[in-house]
């Protein structure tokens, strides 16, 4: 009986005004949380996608750098053989050149390539020591056909399985001056496989994939996927991803496979290849959705309690105090979410090794600069810096020492250009954009950084990775320049001139 009386009293105490206020509070907080949840969800998706983009770009840059070794070798060999053909050298002399150069190629590529071969003056010549069978017709091979189809350019032939070594290989080939002769070399894909595995290992839950123009897997962080063609149909993850890729026509997209949600980013590389980074965003997005559901439940419970309180008393001060408390909590949640978003952006735009701006941050800065958002766009200069001998340090003392060497070079750059943004745009490359005070003192600062590296390199009481050295090039904005890209390219050329001057004095390595 007492419980019935209490219930009746409670029901009578709920006024229409109290219910109306409770509904308004419910709608207000639900709307507020929904808006900021939507913003946080979008920012998280963008941050995850940016992480995948950075990995794909890093993978593409390493692939281009890897292929450039073979491409440069082919260009040098074709230049020499062109001169030998023009000079009327005998086939025996050309064969001797291929044999000798193949030994150099093995050393240059650390055994990734067995050497040079080709069709010269209508005859097949081989510097790798391989003797073809009588039925072997070189003019029918892809390396010969692709080179003839790309006159004047180095052709990158799609991967194939070498039956002798059971290794996935590619061929790089180039047509010679008579337009019929072709020189070529094979390149092992083991290095590309290592690149995908290393990048994937740096980011938990990420897949790194390299596809050729026919959507065949050239390299994959999961080695068992290598050699599969993702156009063969079926219900595999790779097949669904390629379908989405061809349907969307975009370099970034999201897709669902099974119970998981993935974010995919593609970067094209040579010969219609694609570097693809796939990030499993299921856990991160699930946590956000769980937070949203918990918030909705909390709001519902809170409003229910508020209605109960309003039914007991309709005091305005109690309502005002509750509103103030809830508003304060909402603002605190918003600040916390904004800080979390800022942290995600900071990590995505900061180089993990040196702490300076990343390649993604550099691209954003250049875009803002071109739009007039950053600095004085008519009084600026660009500085390009390339660390000397990083490969020597890595090969002889390990990558940990190489990382220390890069950090030391970066520190010298930052200490010289204290008022300008510094970016790491490649494995051993840095870029600085000078405005304001650093621009006014650009000549003195250039001399200072060059002297800093010269003194450091000359130290005899330090370990090799503590004797920092780098080639530095600077270029200023000139009237008539169409954008900062021209200034950066001139600075890059000046840097390469400095690097060549260093090599003439000290050699390629220490």
Q: Considering the chain, what percentage of its residues have pLDDT values greater than 70?
A: 79
| pLDDT over threshold 70, residue 292 | no
Confidence at 38, pLDDT banded by 50, 70, 90: confident
- CA torsion 305→311→316→319, rounded to 10°? 10
pLDDT in tens, 220-230: 888 778 778 88
Q: Which residues of 329-355 are buried (b: 16+ CB within 10 A; e: fewer)?
A: ebeebbeebeeebeebeeebbbbeebe
Mean per-residue pLDDT for 221-241?
80
Q: Which of 417, 430, 422, 432 is nearest to 381 (CA)?
A: 432
CA distance 277 to 196: 9
Residue-level pLDDT at 342? 44
Residue-level pLDDT at 341? 35
| pLDDT over threshold 90, residue 378 | no
pLDDT in tens, 320-362: 556 666 666 766 765 664 455 344 445 557 898 999 999 999 9
Decide if 460 is inside a domain.
yes
Within 13 Å of residue 490, how many CA atoms lie on the same side as its CB?
A: 13
Q: Which residues pair with 155 in a beta bridge?
A: 173
Q: Which of 129, 145, 135, 136 is nearest to 182 (CA)?
A: 145
Q: Residue 103 belongs to a domain with what CATH number?
A: 3.30.450.20
Decide if 425 is inside a domain.
yes
**Which tokens in the block code for residue 209?**
């994939």
Decide if 391 is inside a domain.
yes
| Angstrom distances, CA of residue 404 to CA of 92, 407, 422, 471 | 49, 5, 18, 18
Distant-in-sequence, close-in-space partners of 136: CB < 8 Å, separation ≥ 6: 124
Residue-level pLDDT at 1? 58
Which of the given ranges, 56-70, 217-231, 254-268, has the highest pLDDT on average? 254-268
**Boundary (domain end) residue, out of 127, 160, 188:** 188
Q: In total, how many domains does the chain have? A: 2
Decide if 431 is inside a domain.
yes
Residue-level pLDDT at 140? 92
| pLDDT over threshold 80, residue 138 | yes
Residue-level pLDDT at 22? 66
Domain with 368, as residue range(s), is: 359-506
Residue-level pLDDT at 5? 57
Which of the given ranges, 52-61, 186-195, 441-450, 477-486, has the highest pLDDT on average? 441-450
Residue-level pLDDT at 433? 94
Residue-level pLDDT at 379? 86
Cβ atoms of residues 499 and 393 within 8 Å:
no
**Boundary (domain end) residue, out of 138, 164, 188:** 188
| pLDDT over threshold 50, residue 264 | yes
| pLDDT over threshold 90, residue 232 | no
- CA torsion 273→277→282→283, rounded to 10°? 170
Residue-level pLDDT at 345? 43
Confidence at 190, pLDDT banded by 50, 70, 90: confident
Decide if 148 is inside a domain.
yes
Within 13 Å of residue 499, how many CA atoms lie on the same side as its CB?
A: 21
| pLDDT over threshold 90, residue 268 | no
CA distance 349 to 423: 10
Residue listed under structure tokens 């750059």: 413
pLDDT in tens, 71-103: 888 999 999 999 999 999 999 999 999 999 999
Mean pLDDT of the chain, nearest integer: 82
CA distance 480 to 467: 40
Confidence at 192, pLDDT banded by 50, 70, 90: confident
Q: Residue 497 belongs to a domain with what CATH number?
A: 3.30.70.270
Q: Which residues pair with 116 in a beta bridge?
A: 185
Decide if 416 is inside a domain.
yes
**Which tokens in the block code for residue 19?**
């219910």
Q: Considering the chain, what percentage of its residues have pLDDT values greater than 90?
A: 37
Mean per-residue pLDDT for 206-212?
83
**Boundary (domain end) residue, out of 188, 214, 245:** 188
Mean per-residue pLDDT for 26-47?
71
| pLDDT over threshold 80, residue 368 | yes
CA distance 32 to 326: 11
pLDDT in tens, 381-396: 999 999 998 999 999 9
Decide if 422 is inside a domain.
yes
pLDDT in tens, 440-499: 999 999 999 999 999 999 998 999 999 999 999 999 999 888 888 999 999 999 999 999
Decide if 363 is inside a domain.
yes
């Amino acid at each position: 009986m007492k419980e019935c009386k209490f219930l009746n009293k409670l029901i009578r105490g709920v006024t229409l005004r109290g219910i109306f206020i409770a509904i308004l509070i419910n709608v207000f907080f639900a709307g507020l949380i929904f808006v900021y949840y939507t913003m946080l969800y979008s920012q998280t998706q963008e941050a995850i996608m940016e992480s995948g983009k950075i990995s794909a770009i890093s993978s593409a840059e390493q692939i281009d750098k890897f292929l450039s070794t073979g491409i440069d070798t082919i260009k040098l060999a074709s230049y020499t053989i062109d001169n030998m053909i023009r000079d009327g050298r005998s086939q025996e002399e050309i064969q001797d050149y291929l044999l000798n150069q193949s030994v150099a190629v093995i050393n240059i590529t650390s055994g990734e390539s067995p050497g040079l071969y080709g069709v010269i003056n209508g005859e097949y010549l081989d510097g790798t020591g391989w003797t073809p069978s009588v039925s072997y017709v070189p003019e029918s091979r892809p390396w010969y056909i692709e080179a003839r189809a790309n006159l004047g350019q180095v052709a990158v032939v799609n991967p194939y399985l070498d039956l002798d070594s059971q290794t996935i290989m590619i061929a790089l080939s180039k047509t010679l001056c008579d337009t019929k002769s072709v020189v070529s070399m094979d390149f092992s894909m083991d290095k590309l496989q290592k690149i995908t595995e290393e990048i994937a290992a740096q980011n938990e839950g990420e897949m790194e994939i390299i596809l050729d123009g026919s959507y065949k897997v050239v390299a994959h962080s999961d080695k068992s996927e290598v050699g599969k063609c993702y156009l063969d149909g079926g219900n595999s993850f790779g097949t669904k991803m390629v379908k989405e890729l061809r349907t969307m026509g975009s370099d970034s997209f999201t897709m669902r496979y099974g119970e998981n949600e993935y974010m995919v980013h593609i970067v094209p590389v040579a010969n219609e290849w694609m570097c693809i980074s796939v990030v499993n965003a299921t856990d991160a997005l699930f946590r956000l959705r769980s937070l949203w559901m918990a918030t909705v439940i909390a709001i519902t419970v809170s409003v229910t309690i508020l209605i109960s309180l309003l039914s007991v008393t309709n005091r305005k001060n109690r309502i005002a105090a509750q509103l103030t408390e809830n508003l304060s909590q909402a603002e605190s949640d918003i600040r916390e979410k904004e800080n979390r978003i800022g942290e995600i952006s900071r990590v995505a735009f900061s180089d993990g090794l040196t702490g300076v701006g990343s390649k993604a941050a550099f691209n954003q800065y250049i875009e803002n600069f071109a739009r007039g958002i950053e600095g004085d766009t008519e009084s600026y200069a660009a500085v390009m810096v390339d660390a000397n001998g990083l490969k020597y340090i890595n090969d002889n003392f390990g990558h940990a020492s190489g990382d220390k060497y890069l950090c030391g070079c970066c520190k010298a750059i930052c200490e010289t250009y204290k008022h300008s943004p510094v970016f790491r745009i490649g494995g051993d490359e840095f870029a600085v954009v000078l405005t304001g005070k650093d621009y006014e003192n650009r000549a003195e600062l250039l001399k200072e950084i060059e002297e800093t590296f010269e003194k450091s390199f000359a130290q005899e009481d330090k370990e090799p990775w503590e004797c920092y050295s780098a080639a530095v090039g600077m270029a200023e904005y000139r009237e008539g320049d169409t954008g900062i890209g021209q200034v950066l390219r001139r600075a890059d050329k000046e840097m390469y001139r400095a690097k060549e001057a260093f090599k003439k004095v000290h050699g390629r390595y220490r």
